[in-house]
Chain A
Amino acid sequence: MVDLSGDLLLRMYYTMWLIRDFENKAAELFMKGILAKGGVHSSVGQEAVATGVGLALRQDDWISSTHRGHGHQLAKGADPRRLMAELLAKDAGYCRGRGGSMHVAAFEVGSLGAYAVVGEGVPIAVGAALAEAMKGSDRVSAPFLGDGALGQGVVHESFNLASVWQLPVVFVVERNGIAVSTSCDRMVAPSTRLADLARAYGLRYRGVDGQDVVAVHEAAREAIAAARAGQGPSLLDCKTYRFEGHYYGEPQVYRSREETEAVRRMHDPIAHFETYLSEHGAARQEEMREIRQRASETVEDAARFAQASPEPEPATYGEYVYA
């Protein structure tokens, strides 16, 4: 049991609300036609994984992210204004409107970027870990991936290389059980047996309830500490739930409204954490209300900032192709 200070618990609470409000605001802007772009994916339901891991990493550690990555970026410390501006394809965005939701990076806080091809960012994070090991630094690298990515060969190549070279990597699997629209049980042989997979590759394994931010955080801290100490890679198996469709506006023909409602009712990571905070006397109702208010205001401010930001100047289309 690691020691979790009251301050850390409150930061976790704030971060989870920041992610949820950010995602819901993005969805709202999408419904209003303000975020008039394709390929925006909500991570509502998965906030505890991003938060638990993100707050266990140092700012100079690396992450790589996925198409469903707003939460990863925010938990790593990315500026909500610049992130929202990037979603709206604005010049003030992290990528000056070139990347968008699925291809956003925040190198200033150690984000190597979101990679929209499923599994694509995993080897890149392994490479960053390789660089840190070669430089003799103690920075670690945490690629996020979904269980849908377990069908990709390069993810297995990544497990293998991290293991044979004993690199400081923590693979964070957000096991939400759905590969776009298809149940992972029908798509990926070992999706329910990640422990076996980790053992086969020689990765240290921890399976946790991904809706329990404290459990995720404790497991992440342990895996990160091992990586930092030169004890090699880990796989963190976080069972989680994707509350929304694959992307904003996706019809979800593969599951019923009742099913989704039940998941939201039973597996809400924020509700779960609120109970924890109350039971442990870590935060009073009023404190929680204030934190929630602060997260909400931050997101409203980010949305106002993003909407007021100018578009990139069309004449600059050729910038950044080459260094």
Chain B
Amino acid sequence: MPNLTYKEAIKDALAEELRRDSAVFIMGEDIGLHGGAFGLTKGLFAEFGPDRIKDTPISESIIAGAALGSALAGMRPVVEMMFGDFSALAYDQIVNAAAKARFQFGGQCKTPLVIRMPVGALSWKSAGVVHCQSVDNWYVQIPGLKVVLPATPYDAKGLLKSAIRDDNPVIFLEHKALYEVAGDVPDEDYVVPLGVADIKRSGDTCTVVACGKMVHFALEAAVTLADEGIDLEVIDLRTLKPLDEETVFNSVRKTHRAVVVHEGHRSGGLAADWGMRIYTECLDWLDGPVGWVAAKDVPIPYNDGLEKRVLPQVADIVAAVRKTHGEA
């Protein structure tokens, strides 16, 4: 099985879907000859040309709006937002128009639309306050949207193919820190279904619920904690909306402990949402309080040392897990 990076897996998914379906096209800023800010579309322009790999003006709102209109008229657009943070400029089109179109029109239309956006912090390469946010909770709140964040190359390719074949607007988040992470990716066509979590490590003394880069941090924490006799089960949610609650609940009912870990800010964040669901459905099984690891309510700083204090680190997960075991 070939070993690809997360970035290569995403590019392959785009290329294969462009070849498979002539209704698929890509639009975004600097994605043509330039190949995208992170090089995700490099080479696609040469194969598919300017009609299907469309360089747009720097106008996030019309990018999202025009993509939506084209979807309503029968195309399957895939938008690249240069950074997730910039999608704030397209928020009305995504949240008020795209998310609600099928519902408000009583099922008259479909909106097969994917909006890809790089999110999250890059530590030593980070670019500060408006290039590093985890914007997933901006979108998870909105009925009508699906929200995806893969953690591995295999999932990235399979989930993106599912997203492009889905008839709903899908916010496809890509963690910048994972672009160079490599993993096995099959040659043959496959999809990873939306709405299905994946157990990235089986264990039986505590469940860690995470997504994106935090999955890798949780796996690192598991190595440290294994020496202490704590056997973590790490759940990668993969799709943040709709949420695969059953996989989470089944795991917590097995391990009797849970820690929720999310790179986004603590207030109004996704970790609190996951924790509340666990309390509501699994209280009788819990042997201790649910651990809560999230970013502090501070913008993401430019300085690396400051950033590490704001965002969750492996040590924070280790500490939260110990706490669920009654250790200080």
For A159, the closest partner residue in chain B by CB is B62
A sample of 28 inter-chain contacts (CB < 8 A) reads A93-B106, A94-B108, A96-B107, A98-B104, A99-B104, A99-B105, A103-B104, A107-B109, A113-B101, A120-B92, A120-B96, A120-B97, A123-B61, A127-B68, A127-B71, A127-B77, A131-B69, A131-B71, A131-B73, A131-B75, A134-B51, A141-B69, A154-B93, A158-B65, A161-B57, A320-B106, A321-B143, A322-B146
Report yes or no: A124 in contact with B108, Cβ–Cβ below 8 A.
no
For A102, the closest partner residue in chain B by CB is B104
Report yes or no: A157 in contact with B144, Cβ–Cβ below 8 A.
no
For the complex, what is the distance from the CA of A29 to the CA of B166, rounded to whole Å? 41
Q: B318 interface residue, CB < 8 Å from A?
A: no
Q: Kindly identify, within residues 61 to 108 of chain B, every residue whose CB is under 8 Å from any CB belonging to chain A.
A: 61-62, 64-75, 77, 92-93, 96-97, 100-108
Interface residues on B, range: 35 or more
Q: B249 interface residue, CB < 8 Å from A?
A: no
Report yes or no: A154 in contact with B70, Cβ–Cβ below 8 A.
no
For B62, the closest partner residue in chain A by CB is A157
Q: B251 interface residue, CB < 8 Å from A?
A: no
| Chain A neighbourhood of B104, CB < 8 A | 95, 98-99, 103, 105, 113
| Chain B neighbourhood of A126, CB < 8 A | 62, 65-66, 69
For A132, the closest partner residue in chain B by CB is B73
Q: A192 interface residue, CB < 8 Å from B?
A: no
Report yes or no: B61 in contact with A161, Cβ–Cβ below 8 A.
no
For the complex, what is the distance from the CA of A129 to the CA of B74, rounded to whole Å? 11
CB distance from B68 to the nearest CB of A (A): 6
Q: Mark B36-66, 1 if CB is under 8 A from A, else 0.
A: 0000000000000001000011010110111
| Chain B neighbourhood of A319, CB < 8 A | 107
Q: Mark A291-323, 1 if CB is under 8 A from B, else 0.
A: 000000000000000000000000000011111
Give the number of residue pairs across the A-B interface with Cβ within 8 Å: 148
Q: A193 interface residue, CB < 8 Å from B?
A: no
Interface residues on A, range: 35 or more
Output the residue of B70, B97, B111 with the most chain A CB within 10 A. Answer: B70
CB distance from B169 to the nearest CB of A (A): 10
Q: A164 interface residue, CB < 8 Å from B?
A: yes
For the complex, what is the distance from the CA of A321 to the CA of B169, rounded to whole Å? 11
